[in-house]
Amino acid sequence: AENLNITTTATPPTTLQLVHVLFRHGPRTPVNTYPNDPYIRETFYPYGWGQLTNAGKRELFKMGQWLARRYENFLTQFYTPELLHVQSSASPRTLMSMATVLAGMFPPKNTVMEWNIKLNWQPIPIQAQPLDRDIWLRMTADCPRYQQALQEVLQRSEVQQELKRHENLFKELTEITGLNVTTAHDITSIYITLLAERDYGLNLPSWTQNYYPFKMQFMAEQSYIYNAYTTEMQRIKGGPLLQLMLEHMLSKAEGSLRPSQRKIYMYCAHDWSVTNFLMALKVWKRQLPKFSALVLIELHRQMSGKDYYIKFFFRNDPKAILEPLILPGCTVACPLDKVLELVKDVIPNAAYEEMCRLKEGPAFEKYLKSDYN
């Protein structure tokens, strides 16, 4: 485990009780392109578009080994069904990413689960919600009110001012790329395509030198902020997963979690999943979420008493240092009941369908249906 020297208020000695792991899939081939992309006819054989690359698999396998080391005194050495619950979005790149992390975390060699001396791997089941019902990870369940709220955000005066400051960028990128670039989201789409092409080893066209990454950076980062700009949007997009995790932690604290041996819940999702979740917690700093970005939520119990604490950590990149996240109004080890109080506004207060009903007024066109994350 990493020694985190945190100089904020000293926390009493605690013992780890339950862990939630949320991470973005690893490096992948591009999902989207643009009309003037020199690689528009590229097949990305043998992977295909939007798929995990071999470099991505290596990165994730190492991340699994890192998680195994961090929690070696907490988890058993081998997989058992009671020990962990594993969930992914129903996307090939997230399912493959999760399978690769698990391979690094639970090698069965020299354990009772070893079944093949030539293969140091064991199968571990992964659950996924169908895309049209996913409210936790991919968040692709239909939500008209969210699309409407997003349009309202884009009409706000401060957002309009930001967009106006960059109107030349929108015009120039429209001309260069052949794509109708009108929103921050469009810029993010192009940015991530260029990033994926470069990571894949392709030479980027010369025009990008003047735009990528620096000129595009601010708007690309802002699109994640606009996406969960209001408390209501955070409740729709980050609230359901946060609620699920808090229910697990409350059950653990009350002694009612089933199976009682459960120690870890693991979720693999997308860039928006990570940013919406951290926006709901009010701890997202404006930046671009990277491939394999990792969030850890640890439930601890005070050694000397019955009090429970939650610690939040974030690492945007496997090469970066894991950093503690401090909820505004709390400390590094935040008491469970204090967390519940701090997040109450973003916990869903109605059924998903109810939260997603259009407000009175003109219905807005479906927006943000793109699949680039």
Question: pLDDT tens digits, residue range 108-166?
Answer: 999 999 999 999 999 999 999 999 999 999 999 999 999 999 999 999 999 999 999 99
Q: Are 230 and 280 in contact (CB under 8 A)?
A: no
| Helix residue spans in the chain (DSSP H) | 54-70, 92-105, 144-155, 157-165, 167-177, 184-199, 214-226, 231-237, 239-254, 271-280, 336-342, 352-355
- Spatial neighbors of 23 by CB under 8 A, at least 6 apart, are 63, 97, 101, 267, 268, 269, 274, 292, 293, 294, 295
Cβ neighbours of residue 113 under 8 Å, at least 6 residues apart? 78, 79, 106, 122
For 81, the token pair is: 């069904």
E strands in 78-146: 84-88, 127-128
Asked if 290 contacts 316 with a C-beta cutoff of 8 angstroms, the reply is yes
173-204: string of b/e by CB count within 10 Å (b at 16+)?
Answer: beebbebebebbbbbbbbbbbbbbbebbeeee
- Report the distance separating Cα 372 and Cα 28, nearest Å: 11
Residue 1 has pLDDT above 60, yes or no: no
**Other Cβ atoms closer than 10 A to 38:** 12
Question: Residue 109's closest CA among 100, 118, 101?
Answer: 118
φ, ψ (nearest 5 deg) of residue 42: -65, 140
Q: Which residues of 243-280 are buried (b: 16+ CB within 10 A; e: fewer)?
A: bebbebbbebbeeebeeeebbbbbbbbbbbbbbbbbbb
Choose the catalytic residue: 85, 134, 271, 300.
Answer: 271
- What pLDDT was estimated at residue 76? 87
Distance, in Å, from the CA atom of 276 to the CA atom of 146, rounded to the nearest integer, reads: 13
- Nearest in space to 198 (alpha carbons), one of 211, 189, 208: 208
The predicted structure's pLDDT at residue 12: 56
Instruction: Examine the residue annotation and report whether 317 is marked as an active-site residue of this protein.
Output: no
- The pLDDT assigned to 14 comes to 63
pLDDT tens digits for range 195-233 = 999 999 999 999 999 999 999 999 999 999 999 999 999
> For residue 323, which phi and psi values (nearest 5 degrees)?
-115, 145
* Known catalytic residue at 132: no
**Residue 201 is encoded by which pair of tokens?**
């080893």
What pLDDT, on the 0 to 100 scale, is given for residue 109?
96
Residue 366 pLDDT > 50: no
Domain boundaries, the chain: 14-37+46-141+230-353, 144-226
Instruction: Please give the average per-residue pLDDT across 229-252, as a whole number.
Output: 98
| Mean pLDDT across the chain | 94
pTM tops 0.75, yes or no: yes
- Eight-state DSSP code of residue 126: -
Q: What's the CA gap between 221 and 219, in Å, rounded?
A: 5
Does the pLDDT of residue 45 top 70, yes or no? yes
Active-site residue, selected from the candidate residues 20, 25, 85, 185: 25
CATH superfamily of 14-37+46-141+230-353: Phosphoglycerate mutase-like (3.40.50.1240)
